[in-house]
Chains A and B, each alone.
Chain A
Amino acid sequence: QVQLVESGGGVVQPGRSLRLSCAASGFTFTRHDMHWARQAPGKGLEWVAMILSDGLTEHYADSVRGRFSISRDNSKNTLYLQMNSLRAEDTAVYHCARDVTGSWAFDYWGQGTLVTVSS
């Protein structure tokens, strides 16, 4: 079955960096665009970034553009999110999600990894 497992979260000081990983299994990773979304404590979900299946095109939410970088290693079935210049408002549970081909929706999600930005 489809599985997405995030890792790499933790506590980090403002201005520092962190890299999240998402290990994918149970489907052909190279056939799907992938996303990162997040949920701050007590808040709703927020889309963060998307990368196309070939890894050559990325898109970002305005709130993270220029600070975050999404990438993927199709040989390892793994999605990444490099987060630089972290701010307190980046504190959230970060989920990776699979894109439904042709429908601009997210059909499978991981359980998420918590990132806390605090001094």
Chain B
Amino acid sequence: QSALTQPASVSGSPGQSITISCNGTSSDVGKHNLVSWFQHHPDKAPKLMIYEVSKRPSGVSSRFSGSKSGDTASLTISGLQAEDEADYYCCSYASNIAWVFGGGTKLTV
């Protein structure tokens, strides 16, 4: 499977909202409602922010939300805060027991 496509970088000011897109295909993002999003600070463990397209794990701020339309998934962060600055990765189940990740998006606040 090919990697999902994300913008290399996005930026926003504190308090603003940003959206990160994740483009897949009809074999992964478009086929399954099994898209997740991770926040990754350098030299730390990735943190699950969204799973099953739009569900938030316990403890994740409601400022983080996910959605999907066709082959494209999106992560929206509202009320940007300095600590949101990190790399963000999307991931989709891709059939035949395999997963595919996006290339990552660097968020600058």
Contacts and interface: CB of A to CB of B under 8 A. Distances in A.
A110 to B, nearest CB: 6
A46 B46 CA distance: 13
B103 A44 contact: yes
A47 interface: yes
Interface of chain A: mostly helix, strand, loop or mixed: strand
Interface stretch (A13-21, A72-80, A84-92, A99-107): A99-107
Given A107-B57, A109-B46, A111-B45, A44 B51 contact: no
Interface of B: 3, 32, 34, 36, 38, 43-48, 51-52, 55, 57, 89, 91, 93, 97-104
17 contacts: A43-B103, A45-B101, A45-B104, A46-B3, A47-B101, A59-B97, A95-B45, A100-B48, A103-B52, A104-B32, A104-B93, A105-B34, A105-B36, A106-B36, A107-B57, A108-B45, A112-B45
